[in-house]
Amino acid sequence: MLTLAFESSAKAASVALLEDERLVCQAYQCSGLTHSRTLLPMAESMLQTAGISLSQIDRFAVACGPGSFTGIRIGVSAVKGLAWGAEKPCVGVSTLAAMAWNGAGAGGPVCPVMDARRSEVYNALFRVENGRPVRLCPDRAISLEKLAEEITALYEADRESPPVFLTGDGAAITASYLSERGIAFRLAPENLRWQTAWGVGMEAKDLPDSTPELLLPVYLRLSQAERERQAKMKE
């Protein structure tokens, strides 16, 4: 099965083509350009180079959140349009679950973190079993203080396990917070720290097919504009 996967939930954007679990090719950019300018041209160029036509794609996959509100909308909209036009199924996956695949080779607990600002991160915890991340909790927006408490509890529950593996664009700020409090961790190297479409494709592999009308963004919390609007209404 050929899966065309998209990731645009943060600053970096990527597109990957997978044949079952085999990565055929991947295009990646972290240039600061808007994803509306880069995502579909990357996909078109990558498929052309690989000699694969859009009609050969069996399904589409996309990171549907959490993450950047604009980035998520661009990725989800692109996949909805492609799936509708090609009359092929699509699937939306958790950005955090896709990121957890970056730590699949590290073993032990994996902690994907995205900077959610306001002293919070988007996060979920996973444990690697048989080379695959297994979810330990739902996606959430959580304070660094609370996350540090959960990481400490994980270590105390299993002292034989390696320290938590931090990945994601919020890994650096999380590492700094944990380091200041003497909490052990492993920080993913640069090549395993950022969101990639490969992780989206891997996470999508065992999920059921869906349809474009059911593919929706997952934000976890209100946008700044919506929060400000609610605050004004309360006043």
In this predicted structure, the answer to whether residue 233 has a pLDDT above a threshold of 60 is no
pLDDT tens-place string over residues 51-107? 999 999 999 999 999 999 999 999 999 999 999 999 999 999 999 999 999 999 999
Architecture of domain 2-95+195-227: 2-Layer Sandwich (3.30)
pTM here is 0.92
Q: Where in the chain is the domain with CATH 3.30.420.40?
A: 2-95+195-227, 96-192
pLDDT at residue 234, as a whole number: 57
Residue 227, pLDDT > 50, answer no
* Bridge partner list, 115: 121
CB-side neighbour CA atoms (13 Å) of 34: 6
Query: Which pLDDT tens digit goes with each residue over 145-190?
Result: 999 999 999 999 998 999 999 999 999 999 999 999 999 999 999 9
pLDDT of residue 119: 82
Cα atoms found within 13 Å of the Cα of residue 162, Cβ hemisphere only: 14
Residue pLDDT, tens place only, 17-58: 999 999 999 999 988 778 999 999 999 999 999 999 999 999
Burial class (CB in 10 A: 0-12, 13-18, 19+), 43: buried
126-129/164-167 β-pairing: unpaired
3-state secondary structure of 66: coil
pLDDT at 228 over 60: no
pLDDT value for 35? 93
Q: Which CATH class is domain 96-192?
A: alpha beta
